[in-house]
């Protein structure tokens, strides 16, 4: 991992760096439209920014980075766009695997690996994916999870085919199945242990950061984010820079977190 400069170290001295940053990378298409580019050029630019910012986050001490790459609502997009996105995810996983192994980063998939959540069947079928994520992408996610499972230095969560309502529904189903196996002994049952981030060192984000000027969470990590600080950037995601990350950290540092106390 590349070392940070002395100037950057001095800037970070008085800041509280979040352990877990969750990002809603919004605005790829609007950024492209403003520049007269195609939708896919906007998405490709967003992917490149996600790669560079994830590296920068590791350098400044953010342990866990969660990126909402594809929501359960994104199945409503046109077939050509969804197909191109799926191909971009597969290419990213191939590139990320070597980097994650070298830098001891654990990569975890958040969301529904197989199948589709309630309400997404029709849109996904119209987009050409009636079964949900393509098998090749599923296998890529399984492969990178398995090959990085022993790493602890950092975590990257890739939320693909993720929706907050769907996560809670799946977690409740797992809890019920586990409860049925306990034969009446329900001591210690905790829904948090069945969420997609269960077992992680920092399962709950300290900051949820959304770009493009939209000021809502859209159900992203709804239970884990109950006490997260919400930070909004007016910039479209492909326009973000390292300076924007530092400004986000500075805003987070200025917040007083009482956790209900």
Which DSSP category does 24 fall into? Answer: E
Exposure of 50 in the CB half-sphere (CA atoms within 13 A): 29
Per-residue model confidence as pLDDT tens digits over 179-233? 887 776 767 789 999 999 999 999 999 999 999 999 999 999 999 999 999 999 9
Answer yes or no: is pLDDT of 261 > 70.
Answer: no
Q: Which helix (H) or strand (E) holds 105?
A: strand 105-110
Which DSSP category does 14 fall into? Answer: T
**Cβ atoms of 231 and 248 closer than 8 Å:** yes
CATH code: domain of residue 246? 3.40.1180.10
pLDDT at 173: 95
pLDDT at 5: 83
- Taking each helix axis from N to C end, the angle separating 79-103 and 39-59, rounded to the nearest 10 degrees, works out to 20
Tell whether 56 is covered by a domain.
yes
Answer yes or no: is pLDDT of 69 > 90.
Answer: yes
Number of domain units in the chain: 1
Tell whether 258 is covered by a domain.
no
Chain-wide mean pLDDT for the chain? 94
Tell whether 1 is covered by a domain.
no
**Rg value, the chain, Cα:** 19
Answer yes or no: is pLDDT of 113 > 70.
Answer: yes
- What is the rounded average pLDDT of the residues 165-169? 97
Exposure of 104 in the CB half-sphere (CA atoms within 13 A): 6
pLDDT at 181: 79
Residue 119 phi/psi, 5-degree rounding, is: 90, -10
Angle at 173 between CA 167 and CA 177, to 5 degrees: 145
Name the active-site residue from 74, 157, 161, 204.
74
User: Which three-class secondary structure string do you get for 157-222?
Assistant: EEEEEECHHHHHHHHHHHHHHHHHHCCCCCCCCCHHHHCCCCCCCCCCCCEEEECCCCCCCCCCCC
Percent of the chain with pLDDT over 90: 87
Tell whether 144 is covered by a domain.
yes
Query: Is 166 tagged catalytic?
Result: no
pLDDT at 1: 54
Sheet of 64-71: strand order equals 105-110, 154-162, 64-71, 20-24, 207-210, 229-232
pLDDT at 2: 62
Tell whether 259 is covered by a domain.
no
Helix residue ranges per DSSP H, the chain:
6-12, 28-34, 39-59, 79-103, 121-126, 135-148, 164-181, 242-254
Answer yes or no: is pLDDT of 60 > 80.
Answer: yes
By residue range, what is the domain housing residue 236?
Answer: 17-253
pLDDT at 188: 75
- What is the rounded average pLDDT of the residues 40-52? 97
Helix (H, G, I), strand (E, B) or coil at 36: coil
Tell whether 104 is covered by a domain.
yes
pLDDT at 11: 87
Percent of the chain with pLDDT over 70: 97
Those residues with Cβ within 8 angstroms of residue 256's Cβ, 6 or more apart along the chain or in another chain: none
Which DSSP category does 19 fall into? Answer: S
pTM for this entry:
0.94
pLDDT at 184: 65
Query: Is 74 tagged catalytic?
Result: yes
Map tokens 């829904």 to a residue. 191
Q: Which residue in 208, 202, 237 sits closest to 221, CA to CA?
A: 208
Tell whether 7 is covered by a domain.
no
Tell whether 227 is covered by a domain.
yes
Name the active-site residue from 6, 19, 26, 146.
26
Helix (H, G, I), strand (E, B) or coil at 109: strand
Per-residue model confidence as pLDDT tens digits over 23-34? 999 999 999 999
Answer yes or no: is pLDDT of 143 > 70.
Answer: yes
């Amino acid at each position: 991992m590349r070392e940070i400069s002395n100037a950057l170290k001095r800037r970070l001295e008085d800041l509280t760096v979040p352990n877990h940053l969750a990002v809603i990378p919004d605005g790829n298409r609007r950024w492209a439209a403003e520049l007269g580019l195609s939708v896919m050029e906007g998405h490709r630019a967003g992917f490149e920014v996600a790669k560079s910012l994830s590296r920068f986050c590791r350098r400044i001490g953010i342990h866990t980075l969660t990126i909402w790459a594809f929501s359960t609502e994104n199945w409503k997009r046109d077939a050509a766009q969804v197909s191109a996105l799926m191909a971009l995810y597969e290419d990213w996983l191939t590139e990320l695997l070597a980097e994650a192994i070298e830098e001891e980063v654990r990569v975890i998939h958040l969301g529904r690996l197989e199948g589709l959540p309630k309400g997404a069947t029709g849109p996904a079928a119209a987009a050409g994916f009636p079964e949900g994520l393509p098998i090749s992408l599923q296998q890529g996610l399984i492969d990178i999870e398995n090959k990085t499972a022993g790493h602890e230095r950092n975590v990257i969560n890739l939320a693909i085919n993720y929706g907050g309502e769907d996560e809670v529904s799946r977690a409740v189903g797992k809890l019920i199945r586990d409860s049925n196996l306990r034969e009446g002994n329900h001591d210690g049952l905790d829904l948090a242990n069945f969420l997609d981030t269960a077992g992680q060192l920092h399962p709950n984000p300290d900051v949820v950061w959304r770009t493009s000027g939209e000021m809502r969470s859209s159900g992203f990590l709804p239970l884990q984010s109950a006490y997260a600080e919400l930070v909004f950037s007016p910039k479209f995601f492909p326009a973000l820079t390292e300076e924007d990350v530092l400004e986000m950290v500075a805003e987070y540092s200025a917040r007083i977190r009482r956790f209900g106390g």
